[in-house]
Chains A and B, each alone.
Chain A
């Protein structure tokens, strides 16, 4: 089955947020802070106001009214304090984008700067234990005695890894178009991963009843979490439109996206693992150090995968946070699992080396039948089958474990393995199914952020109704449709699909004309079980002994993610995640500017994501996993697990190729050369 909106996308007819044609539209362009910390002494905008086409200047000098409890990243112009370089401190509204931008450059903001502190570093005196980590996990857990477990271990590792600031970089820059009607109701065309929660946040921020706000987002060019919560551009569009008395568009530049649409926190992670002579873990300790802004406590759940992965009598996980003069970190594909599993799965490989044990076997002997922290049984867990199937397909049994001995000319060759995991959750959603002109229409405020959600929901509804997919039409991307959660946390399809199935069932059960569903009760009654998808990733790398370049000729992922709704869409999600994981392993890195604050390398020429030449052969397959404890489709989310484990598999392969362990991402030629 082809992607439902494929034709309109490839022919350029799909309309994205910034593209809606509106009469008398104006444009707002932000002015961003040039200091990382301080206070705004004054905003001098007289020159800007005289410039061609300028309609309004917004700033803290005459702050627009917002809700007092507005999210601090969205409370535009409410404070004179500057929390980070790049923060939006003013904006100009003009009749054209070019005039708005030119006038924004003429706004002079005077600061009383303070000394700033922008660098995450080990031993920072500001580290503290947050109350919870995202979304609501305990920051620390302890089970058994880690020190005793390490004391009795036949082999142990005590290793520290670090990961850099990473940016989501969806293809479509964040954009919004805000239109107020004469009754004071607001329509926002936004690029968002969820119109219902975006509507709620915009309404709350502006102090409006949510009935007075509508968000439309029919096509979204990627998000990876950066569009998972409302961003300041949407609030700015609404404020600017009110100030100008005209509809206003805000389209962020790539540079501005780096500043105000979130990023993955850098991490420093210490892992201590011990195992007996048979490889069975005697202790696991995972401590993650990470950053947030002075505005908001955003605590990435980096050490939580250790609470899920391996059976151990002693387990300690902990998170420490430091508040720096930086933008607030945010959601990026597999928050928590992605950086955390990089460290845990690298450490497992180091432990396998210390034991002289095959890394696949080490993972197999430590398989768990219940969550090691908390003891909840798994609804299904097929990690071992993924490892076995991957090893078979990859030709793992021919592998010589000796590191640094395979050479083809100047190229050192090695292979590595790592496990993947991601929670399989769902949230309440509602949907409406009805008959129109003999076809079936499904309405749900879901979001298709490029994943193919529309197509997946057509399939799910067609299955539930027992009709051909061609007879089903899905309407999504509009907060006026039945309320639905965000496309995030790999919960979209599971949540929306549950409601769609129930609505279709309702339609069939009733008059055959329409059916409504709200899964709040159903989801609330889900049995208490540990629900996770698992996977295994295998990488082959070639490392040049001349240049330090690392190439990855082969990546294989084997996943157990419940029933796969649409094989083509699933493959795209898996290999997309793996490709992004390869980027994390080898090239992606945003530098923090310690001198001036803010970030450096804020464009796609400097922030490298993989090109086609970097991924000649990425293969993803999946097991036929049956799990009746998930949702009516029997599916687990697949949007994020693909990125989990890739960087570790590549790093482990680099060690196997070279004999050198690089514990600091990304693994660049620079770092390789320093070891040769």
Chain B
């Protein structure tokens, strides 16, 4: 582990002011500290933002503002979240373990790195960790890596459950940074790997997430479902956050579908949603929409199972949500 300095920020603007190249912000540390032990992350300076007064969940009109430092456990237990955004509570509880959720923050959850085995092993090449060194996963262990939106440089997936629900909920990410404050709509925070897999998100150096804001909850019923071979404390093979609203005429009036563990980003299934809205809420329509979405997939030999899995999951989840 490389030597580093540690500083505690007094305010968000103080954190940004302390930022210089080689700085990383420290939230719950559940991912960053592991990566530092592994030599994957080698910051010169850690600016601790976990104690900033960003740990509040508060209604803002018909919206809900969730501070960046809110712990995952507190987010999942919040009565407003449980009442109005049950999909989000379920997604958070599907992730990690009780102990990890007690530490992990909202912003840290969004910014966690891929669990690709090569990324986490400094003795092996990885374009995300060492740009230009190659991607052994494409020929090697890619069993749980991306089938959608991957590139020849990187097939990593984003591992978060929470981010999948936030993508389905059209959440907004509030950011402050050297260039001032801005708002990034989900799922636009994360980016596809392209030729720059070392960049997970659209954040610029020094940007600090201060809050996540949720618009009014989508109409209709919602669900979060996560598939994994171990019943808890495992990353998803595929996960889905979905909501569905069907009018009395049997026509779909609103539909949100986001998939986890299929891409470098929480994958909003916009193509499927467009096909479904205004159409019938039938199993055949769900299947057609799922297949249209997954037409874009480019699976590798050992992750091709994700296509039938994602298709089954979309159809079964929507059927469950349909009245």
Contacts and interface: CB of A to CB of B under 8 A. Distances in A.
Interface of A: 32, 34, 98, 101-102, 105, 410, 546-551, 586-587, 591, 593-596, 600-603, 605-606, 608, 610-614, 666, 668-670, 673-674, 676
B52 to A, nearest CB: 28
A670 B143 CA distance: 9
Interface in B281-310: 305, 308-309
A595 B139 contact: yes
A594 B136 CA distance: 11
B227 A101 contact: no
Contacts of A669: 227-229, 237, 305, 309
Given A546-B313, A547-B309, A587 B141 contact: no
Given A547-B227, A587-B229, A611-B230, A410 B316 contact: yes
13 contacts: A102-B3, A410-B316, A546-B312, A547-B309, A547-B313, A548-B227, A549-B229, A551-B231, A586-B229, A600-B121, A600-B141, A602-B121, A674-B305
B202 interface: no
Determine chain B's interface SS by DSSP, over half rule: loop
Contacts of A550: 229
B32 to A, nearest CB: 15
A605 B115 contact: yes
B248 interface: no
Contacts of B2: 102
A587 B230 contact: yes
Contacts of A548: 227, 305, 309
A116 to B, nearest CB: 14
Given A593-B140, A594-B140, A595-B136, A608 B229 contact: yes
Interface in B221-271: 227-235, 237
A601 B229 contact: no
A546 B229 contact: no
A601 B232 contact: no
A51 B285 CA distance: 65
B312 A595 contact: no
B140 to A, nearest CB: 6
B39 interface: yes
Contacts of B231: 551, 611, 613-614
B183 interface: no
Contacts of B115: 605-606
Contacts of B228: 549, 669
A105 B39 contact: yes
Given A608-B229, A611-B232, 10 more contacts: A102-B3, A548-B227, A587-B230, A591-B141, A595-B139, A601-B141, A611-B233, A670-B237, A673-B308, A673-B312
Closest 9 CB pairs of A and B: A613-B231, A613-B232, A547-B227, A546-B316, A670-B305, A546-B312, A608-B230, A614-B231, A611-B232
Contacts of B305: 548, 669-670, 673-674
Interface string B1-35: 11100000000000000000000000000000000
Contact of A34 (B1, B123, B313): B123
A549 B141 contact: no
A291 B108 CA distance: 43
